[in-house]
Every structure is written in C-alpha cells, then in structure tokens.
Amino acid sequence: MLYFPDKSAQENEQFSAMLDEINNHLVYVLTEKLGWHDAVNPEMSVGGGHVVIRFENDGQRLVFRVPKFGIMQLKRNMMAYRYLGHLDIIPEKVYHDGKCIIELHADGGPFSSKVSDAVLGRMASQLSVMHGIQTNGFGPLNFDLQGGYPSAAAYFQDRAPLALDWAEMDLTSIQTDALTAALAQSATVPDELQSAPTFLGHGDLWRNNILVSQDGFKIVDWDRLGAYPIERDLAFLWVAGLCASQRALFYRVYAKTVNRSLLRWFAVRHILQDGSLRLSKKLKKIQEIDLLMHE
C-alpha cells in the first residue's frame, strides 16, 4: 500500500521507503500503462492530504497524486468527475487506478480579490449548479449522494476540537477573551446547521483549492466531496478579502438564499484553523467577518 498515516513518518526510514514506492508506481504507470518514456522535471511535495509529483510530458504539465488517508479519497475524486465533470471546473483527468490519479496541471494562482468579474460570475454560476444537487446525511460522501454521518452534530463530534497556540505573548486580555469566545462559539453546532438541508459540496473550498487564471478557474482537491449546507463552501467569500461589489456580483449570479449566520460560523472556524495567521490577525479577520453580517 502507498498510504501512510501522518507527517511524522517523514523523519523515518519507513517514510522514505514509501516515497520510493510512490516513485516506482509513477514509473510503472507512465511506462506500462500510458506508454510514456519518462517524467520530465519531476517535483515531489507532501501536502496535508497527498503526496504529489508534478512533471512534464510532451509539452504538458501534469500532476500525479497519491492520497495519504486511503482509497476513499480517490473514490470521491471519481465521484466529483461523475457528478460535476460537465461543468469543466475540475482539472482534466488523464489516468487513475486504485492508488493514484494523474491530472492536467491547473494554471493560475490561488483565489483572491484580484479575480475578474467575468471569472467570479462564472464561478458563482457553476457553484450554484453544484449546490443544486441534493444529498442525504452530512459529511464526506460514503457512496453516491450519501454523507458519512447522519447529522451535523455527529460529524463535528467526530472532529478534533479547535485549539489555538497561545504562544504569542503580545495579545491583550481583551483579545485573548475575544478569541476564547470565538473558540467556544465554534465548538457549538448551531441549531440552524442541524436542520439545514445538505447539497453536493467541495467540503474544503478555500483560496488554495481554487486556482484562478485570467480567463477561467479550476477547483482542486476533491477528497472531501460530500453532503453539506451551501454555506460551508461559500465561506471562502468572506475570508478572501473580496470587496462589497464583488460579493454582490457573486450573490446575484449564484441566485440562492444564503444563511449569513451559518456563513459566519463556517468562516470563523476556517479562520481559527488557518495556521498561517497570527492570533492577532485571526481576531482582526473575525471582526471583519462580523461587519459583513450587516452588509
């Protein structure tokens, strides 16, 4: 098997052996399955969910992914192609088997406020179609359109509680109290979430998983494709620094009713989980989110 449980294995021989096995599988797929001679300019990286090797062949840039947490990651990617392939929002699939997937490299950079109105409008239209597919249960898909948990409460009860690294010593007591309150609020599943209908959603839709070019976009990492309220995906709108007119454009094209209270809940959870932000920055972004409640 090519899967491994956590990043701590990077420091031991077992991890090195697994990377060798992944590389060997890539060579096998390229030569025996695809009839290609070599991977040009290969670059390997280890992310939160995958081991990734980017390479070139015949002038094309490709991405070879091996999931870290099991075959269901690949199955959800295949379900994404099944249900959403017609929307042209997923990088083109070149090959897959029970261990890996190869896709065309998606051009562009992470989603930001620099996105053009044309691309933002297209994104709203395509996400509206995806969020029109009704599902059952909650959480990543187990099969077809069935989430792996019976309810939102069961799903979040099975998640590790949010925590902050309080090592920053420059916070005031007021800031510390505010962040502590945000943690407590995020730990409580809102009643609205319990009763909210679920639809097909990406499940991890944030700026690095939305790659935007001058004239289009692609969404990557579909491992958490599942049954969610639409607000889980749409939280990216409130953490990406879009201006009011950009958000208004998105909502106008998206044309679905959005629960701002749930949107705030998901957005705050995302901010608290963002390891790239200092605590003071987390608090500032949460305060910005609160202003959007009255927009």
State the total domains in the chain.
Answer: 2
175 within domain boundaries: yes
CATH of the domain at 100: 3.30.200.20
- Give the pLDDT confidence of 268-291 residue by residue, as tens digits: 999 999 989 999 999 999 999 999
Looking up tokens 């939102």 gives 152
- Give the pLDDT confidence of 76-108 residue by residue, as tens digits: 999 999 999 999 999 999 999 999 999 999 999
Residue numbers of the domain that contains 68: 7-104
Cβ proximity of 136 and 126 under 8 Å:
no
2 within domain boundaries: no
Is the model's pLDDT at 9 over the cut of 70?
A: no
Structure tokens at 4: 């491994």
CATH of the domain at 118: 3.90.1200.10
Within this chain, do residues 273 and 186 fall inside the same structural domain, yes or no?
A: yes
Within this chain, do residues 163 and 278 fall inside the same structural domain, yes or no?
A: yes
Return d(Cα 158, Cα 160) in angstroms, integer. 7
Is the model's pLDDT at 10 over the cut of 80?
A: no
- Give the pLDDT confidence of 181-197 residue by residue, as tens digits: 999 999 999 999 999 99
1 within domain boundaries: no
Among 75, 80, 26, smallest CA distance to 209 is for 80
